[in-house]
Structure 1
Amino acid sequence: MGRAFEFRKARKMKRWSAMSKAFTRIGKDIVMAV
Protein backbone atom coordinates (compact mmCIF):
# COMPACT_ATOMS: atom_id res chain seq x y z
CA MET A 1 0.00 0.00 0.00
CA GLY A 2 2.77 2.42 0.91
CA ARG A 3 4.50 1.77 -2.39
CA ALA A 4 1.37 2.50 -4.41
CA PHE A 5 0.93 5.74 -2.50
CA GLU A 6 4.50 6.79 -3.23
CA PHE A 7 4.05 5.98 -6.91
CA ARG A 8 0.89 8.06 -7.12
CA LYS A 9 2.58 10.91 -5.26
CA ALA A 10 5.53 10.85 -7.65
CA ARG A 11 3.20 11.00 -10.64
CA LYS A 12 1.38 13.99 -9.14
CA MET A 13 4.67 15.76 -8.44
CA LYS A 14 5.71 15.20 -12.05
CA ARG A 15 2.51 16.78 -13.31
CA TRP A 16 2.71 19.75 -10.94
CA SER A 17 6.37 20.39 -11.79
CA ALA A 18 5.40 20.49 -15.47
CA MET A 19 2.56 22.92 -14.75
CA SER A 20 4.72 25.05 -12.47
CA LYS A 21 6.63 26.17 -15.57
CA ALA A 22 3.60 28.36 -16.22
CA PHE A 23 2.64 29.00 -12.58
CA THR A 24 5.95 28.71 -10.76
CA ARG A 25 4.83 30.18 -7.44
CA ILE A 26 1.28 28.83 -7.52
CA GLY A 27 2.53 25.38 -8.51
CA LYS A 28 4.99 25.34 -5.63
CA ASP A 29 2.26 26.39 -3.19
CA ILE A 30 0.00 23.57 -4.38
CA VAL A 31 2.78 20.99 -4.17
CA MET A 32 3.60 22.16 -0.64
CA ALA A 33 -0.04 22.04 0.41
CA VAL A 34 -0.66 18.54 -0.92
Structure 2
Amino acid sequence: MENACMPGWLFAMNEIITFVAGIALGAVVFWG
Protein backbone atom coordinates (compact mmCIF):
# COMPACT_ATOMS: atom_id res chain seq x y z
CA MET A 1 0.00 0.00 0.00
CA GLU A 2 1.33 3.42 -0.93
CA ASN A 3 -0.67 5.07 1.87
CA ALA A 4 1.92 3.92 4.42
CA CYS A 5 2.16 7.39 5.99
CA MET A 6 -1.14 6.71 7.78
CA PRO A 7 -0.59 4.83 11.07
CA GLY A 8 -2.47 1.56 11.53
CA TRP A 9 -3.91 2.68 14.88
CA LEU A 10 -5.35 5.80 13.23
CA PHE A 11 -7.03 3.69 10.55
CA ALA A 12 -8.39 1.31 13.20
CA MET A 13 -9.63 4.26 15.28
CA ASN A 14 -11.39 5.68 12.22
CA GLU A 15 -13.06 2.31 11.60
CA ILE A 16 -14.17 2.08 15.26
CA ILE A 17 -15.50 5.65 15.28
CA THR A 18 -17.45 4.99 12.08
CA PHE A 19 -18.86 1.76 13.54
CA VAL A 20 -19.86 3.40 16.84
CA ALA A 21 -21.38 6.37 15.00
CA GLY A 22 -23.42 3.98 12.86
CA ILE A 23 -24.68 2.13 15.96
CA ALA A 24 -25.57 5.44 17.66
CA LEU A 25 -27.40 6.69 14.57
CA GLY A 26 -29.28 3.41 14.30
CA ALA A 27 -30.26 3.65 17.98
CA VAL A 28 -31.50 7.22 17.54
CA VAL A 29 -33.57 6.20 14.51
CA PHE A 30 -34.88 3.13 16.33
CA TRP A 31 -35.89 4.92 19.54
CA GLY A 32 -36.72 8.18 17.81
**Greater per-residue helix proportion:** 1
TM-score where L is the length of structure 1: 0.55
Q: Which of 1 and 2 has greater Rg? A: 2
Q: Give unmatched runs, 5+ long, in structure 2.
A: 1-11
Could you say which structure has the greater relative contact order, defined with CA pairs below 8 angstroms and 6 or more residues apart?
A: 1
RMSD: 0.6
TM-score with structure 2 setting the length: 0.58
Give the share of equivalent positions with the same residue, in percent. 5
Where in structure 1 do 4 or more consecutive aligned residues deviate above 2 Å? none
The runs of 5 or more residues in structure 1 that have no matched partner are 22-34
